[in-house]
């Protein structure tokens, strides 16, 4: 029973198989037992009948012998029982109980029955060890004696044992044959259920409510499967609804967040966010002893766009402004639209006033580019920007915002399309950069600009001394110098970008070219092979007129082709338009050589380099500086690559910024013979340059 109960914990398949087999065994057992009983009863009846007949025969044959008391004859008659091997013993009794005749089979054991006459004993007596038949002997209907015959049951037992063995063998075969049968039955019944169980498992594992039961079996299994499918359908529906609702809720949250922190027109952060961000920035700067800056940006002329082109166009333009702001600024800078045409930028990275001014100048330039609205050109828009840096220009957040706002009005007052930085000296006093920027336009007219000339040498191998020599000056690079009346000397690296932004560079660049040509014409009278390199700003290539003007300057100077080389920055080569290629071609046909300055630091694609009419590559001093580090250095590999590119393009290669003999030697070793740098000479005044030219052209680089 316990075994059956424990079976419940097993699979249905196993339960069915086991129960089926138990059932089969039971049926076979009952059947076997029935067979045995049937055999026993048959044997019992046969034995009784046989003993009765034998006793009758013996009785009728021996009636006379009994009547005459003939013992011998009685024994003889009984001896005929030897023909029946089952008879163990027999006796003939006289009515008074004496024994007249007896028979005992050879070797028979008479311990089972002791044959004794008695009226009560007449009949059949069966025991496990044998059966006895007592029968009266009659003569003329009168009982004259009793015959008793005992038979052994051995042959019956043997026959029953045979039957038992046969039934057992049959049952065994039937049992074994039933095993696969029951298994199949179990499989048939359990298979659809197992599949349902597997499916349920998968659903709970994968949470895939689209799964459906595709099983059929008994009526119940079908009902179960369709119930399962209905349940899954319901689950799937609920799951989808839940997912949908969660999605909706997330969207709603995002929308709320957007509304709270973003400006719907431009997608930039809004005033609310700005407030939080500026608080955080000032608090951070105060804590770290750093800086935080804010810029107020107000568009100039925006109202006109709204009035003439409509509000949709206005929105479109505001989006473009937002795009330009984010493109120009770094990701870490916070850009917000405060409303209308007002924007604000938070710079929270400890930038100082100069860096903030650089950012402001870039923004002014970016926002002043022409705008298109749809297919139309928008009226000219620019930006006035007011900036203030915490803690340099303001001691707290409110002051910072107030002063940035004040500075913005100052920028408007001073003519718009510019920035104004509030600083310690008060709103009226301009910063150094503002001073520089404002006086840039007039610098040329006031005669504050002049040129210096840095000689360019052919480098020799030193004639076996192991130290390279600067063999001969073959040219000069003209470099612009400006000494500001109040600020003092201003580096071209500082004012050239400002002049490019303000547009002053065009006039300035033309002046540089004219000056450089005039100098060269004079110097070539004594040194006819001298060349001159002149730096050209990208702005100077922006229009056909300025190209024509440059060509005219060269033509007027009467210098031959190749005497003047224009140095362009590599970033120019990013523009591979027909227009740009055409303009460079025009410069080449006008007689200019074209050099790529600071080569290797820009973004020119090597694949397109040969489409430009280039005559010289200038290895940037960043790579020259690294030549000191020895053979394996990165700069070494790049310099070598530039020399190879130069050779492939059939262009000259010149290295700039050579400061040590090791750098010069490394360059000579890699095949770069042209060089320029403090090692040979710094940029020189005209008299110094002339003196250098007059000195012996061969000069050891280093004192021995
Ligand atoms: P650049 O054209 O690459 O000029 C080389 C700069 O390296 C010059 O600085 C020069 O003085 C400096 N230099 C020369 N030899 C050495 C050296 O051995 N070591 C170091 N560390 N520096 C050396 P400068 O004169 O301050 O000019 C800076 C940049 O300003 C120039 O770079 C050029 O891009 C620009 N620039 C100068 N004059 C003009 C000009 O007339 N027009 C234009 N558009 N740009 C100019
Ligand atoms: Mg240069
Ligand atoms: Mg350079």
Q: Using CA atoms, how far apart are residues 505 and 371, in angstroms rounded to an integer?
A: 23
Choose the residue to mutate in 444, 492, 514 for probing ligand 1, maximizing ligand atoms within 8 Å of C-beta.
492
Q: Using CA atoms, how far apart are residues 530 and 697, in angstroms rounded to an integer?
A: 13
Average confidence (pLDDT) over 380-393: 93
Buried b / exposed e over 539-557, threshold 16 CB at 10 Å, is bbbeeeebbebbbebbeeb
**Beta bridge pairs of residue 300:** 382
Question: pLDDT-based confidence at 214, cuts 50/70/90?
Answer: confident
Q: Using CA atoms, how far apart are residues 322 and 305, in angstroms rounded to an integer?
A: 16
Q: Please say if the pLDDT value at position 150 is more than 80.
A: yes
Task: Report whether residue 509 contacts ligand 1, using a CB cutoff of 6 Å.
Answer: yes
* Percentage of residues in the chain having pLDDT higher than 70: 93
Residue found by looking up tokens 């008879």 in the block: 87
pLDDT (tens digit per residue) in 497-544: 888 877 889 999 999 999 999 999 999 999 999 999 999 998 899 889
Question: What SS3 state is found at 456?
Answer: strand
pLDDT (tens digit per residue) in 159-183: 889 888 988 898 899 999 999 999 9
The angle subtended at Cα 45 by Cα 76 and Cα 127, nearest 5°, is: 75
The angle subtended at Cα 294 by Cα 293 and Cα 296, nearest 5°, is: 155
Task: Report whether residue 479 contacts ligand 1, using a CB cutoff of 6 Å.
Answer: yes
pLDDT of res. 290 = 94
- The overall average pLDDT reported for the chain is 88
Query: Would you say 130 and 86 are in contact if contact means Cβ atoms under 8 Å apart?
Result: no
pLDDT of res. 470 = 66
Structure tokens at 89: 């013993």
Burial status of residue 158 (CB atoms within 10 A of its CB: 0-12, 13-18, 19 or more):
exposed
Q: How many other C-beta atoms lie within 10 A of the C-beta of residue 457?
A: 27
> What is the atom index within ligand 1 of the atom nearest the CA of 679?
18
Query: Would you say 363 and 297 are in contact if contact means Cβ atoms under 8 Å apart?
Result: yes
Query: Would you say 329 and 293 are in contact if contact means Cβ atoms under 8 Å apart?
Result: no
Q: Please say if the pLDDT value at position 702 is more than 60.
A: no
Q: How many other C-beta atoms lie within 10 A of the C-beta of residue 400?
A: 25
- Residues around ion ligand 2, judged by CB within 5 A, are 535, 567, 597
Task: Report whether residue 678 contacts ligand 1, using a CB cutoff of 6 Å.
Answer: yes
pTM comes to: 0.51
3-state secondary structure 194-246: HHHHHHHHHHHHHCCCCCCCCCCCCHHHHHHHHHHHHHHHHHHHHHHHHHHHH
Query: Would you say 223 and 213 are in contact if contact means Cβ atoms under 8 Å apart?
Result: no
Q: Using CA atoms, how far apart are residues 616 and 356, in angstroms rounded to an integer?
A: 36
Q: Please say if the pLDDT value at position 131 is more than 50.
A: yes
- Residues around ion ligand 3, judged by CB within 5 A, are 597-598, 656
Task: Report whether residue 683 contacts ligand 1, using a CB cutoff of 6 Å.
Answer: yes
Task: Report whether residue 493 contacts ligand 1, using a CB cutoff of 6 Å.
Answer: yes
Task: Report whether residue 621 contacts ligand 1, using a CB cutoff of 6 Å.
Answer: yes
Interval between CA 219 and ligand 1 midpoint (Å): 95
- Quick one: which ligand is closest to 620's CA? 3
- Quick one: which ligand is closest to 550's CA? 1
Choose the residue to mutate in 448, 479, 594 for probing ligand 1, maximizing ligand atoms within 8 Å of C-beta.
479
pLDDT of res. 631 = 60
> What is the atom index within ligand 1 of the atom nearest the CA of 479?
38
Of 314, 312, 318, 330, residue with least CA distance to 268: 318
Question: What SS3 state is found at 535?
Answer: strand
Interval between CA 519 and ligand 2 midpoint (Å): 17
Q: Whose CA is nearest to atom 11 of ligand 1?
A: 683
């Amino acid at each position: 029973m316990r075994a059956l109960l424990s079976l419940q914990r097993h699979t249905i398949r196993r339960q069915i198989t086991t129960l089926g087999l138990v059932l089969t065994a039971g049926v076979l057992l009952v059947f076997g037992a029935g067979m045995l009983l049937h055999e026993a009863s048959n044997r019992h009846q046969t034995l009784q009948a046989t003993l009765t007949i034998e006793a009758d025969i013996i009785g009728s044959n021996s009636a006379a012998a009994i009547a005459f008391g003939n013992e011998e004859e009685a024994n003889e008659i009984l001896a005929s029982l030897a023909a029946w091997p089952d008879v163990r013993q027999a006796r003939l009794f006289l009515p008074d109980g004496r024994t007249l005749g007896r028979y005992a089979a050879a070797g028979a054991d008479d311990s089972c029955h002791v044959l004794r006459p008695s009226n009560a004993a007449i009949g059949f007596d069966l025991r496990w060890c044998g059966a006895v038949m007592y029968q009266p002997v009659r003569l003329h209907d009168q009982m004259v004696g009793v015959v008793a015959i005992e038979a052994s049951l051995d042959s019956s037992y043997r026959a029953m044992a045979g039957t038992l063995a046969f039934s057992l063998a049959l049952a065994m075969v039937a049992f074994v044959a039933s095993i696969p049968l029951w298994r199949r039955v179990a499989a048939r019944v359990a298979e659809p259920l197992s599949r349902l169980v597997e499916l349920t498992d998968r659903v709970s594992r994968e949470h895939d409510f689209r799964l459906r039961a595709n099983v059929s079996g008994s009526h119940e299994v079908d009902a179960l499967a369709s119930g399962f499918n209905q349940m899954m359908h319901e689950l799937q529906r609920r799951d989808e609804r839940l997912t949908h609702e969660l999605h909706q809720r997330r969207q709603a949250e995002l929308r709320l967040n957007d509304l709270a922190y973003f400006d719907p027109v431009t997608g930039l952060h809004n005033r609310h966010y700005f407030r939080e961000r500026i608080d955080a920035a000032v608090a951070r700067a105060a804590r770290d002893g750093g800086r935080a800056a804010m810029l107020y940006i107000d568009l100039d002329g925006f109202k006109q766009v709204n009035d003439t082109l409509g509000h949709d166009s206005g929105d479109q333009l505001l989006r473009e402004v937002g795009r330009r702001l984010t493109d120009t600024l770094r990701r870490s800078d916070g850009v917000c639209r405060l409303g209308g045409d007002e924007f604000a930028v938070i710079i929270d990275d400890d930038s100082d006033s100069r860096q903030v001014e650089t950012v402001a100048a870039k923004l002014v330039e970016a926002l002043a580019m022409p705008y298109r609205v749809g297919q139309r050109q928008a009226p000219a828009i620019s930006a006035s920007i007011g900036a203030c840096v915490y803690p340099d220009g303001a001691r707290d957040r409110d002051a910072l915002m107030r002063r940035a706002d004040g500075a913005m009005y100052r920028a408007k007052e001073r003519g718009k399309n510019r920035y104004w930085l509030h600083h310690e000296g008060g709103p009226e006093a301009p910063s150094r950069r503002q001073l520089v920027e404002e006086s840039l336009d007039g610098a040329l007219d006031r005669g504050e600009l002049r040129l210096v000339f840095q000689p360019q040498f052919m480098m020799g191998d030193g004639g076996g001394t192991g130290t390279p020599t600067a063999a001969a000056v073959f040219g000069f690079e003209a470099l612009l110098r400006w000494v500001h009346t109040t600020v003092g000397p201003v580096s071209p690296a500082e004012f050239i970008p400002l002049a490019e932004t303000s547009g002053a560079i065009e006039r300035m660049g033309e002046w540089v070219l004219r000056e450089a040509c005039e100098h060269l014409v004079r110097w070539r009278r004594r040194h006819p092979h001298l060349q001159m390199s002149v730096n050209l700003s990208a702005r100077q290539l922006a229009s056909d007129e300025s190209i024509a003007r440059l060509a005219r300057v060269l033509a007027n100077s009467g210098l031959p082709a190749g005497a003047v080389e224009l140095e362009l920055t590599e970033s120019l080569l990013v523009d591979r338009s027909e227009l740009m290629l055409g303009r460079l071609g025009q410069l080449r046909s006008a007689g200019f050589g074209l050099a790529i300055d600071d080569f290797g630091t820009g973004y020119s694609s090597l694949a397109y380099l040969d489409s430009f009419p280039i005559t010289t590559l200038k290895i940037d001093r960043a790579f020259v500086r690294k030549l000191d580090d020895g053979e394996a250095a990165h700069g070494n590999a790049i310099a070598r690559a530039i020399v190879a590119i130069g050779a492939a393009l059939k262009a000259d290669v010149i290295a700039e910024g050579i400061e040590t003999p090791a750098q010069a030697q490394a360059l000579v070793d890699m095949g770069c013979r042209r060089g320029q740098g403090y090692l040979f000479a710094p940029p020189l005044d005209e008299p110094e340059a002339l003196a250098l030219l007059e000195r012996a052209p061969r000069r050891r680089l280093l004192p021995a």
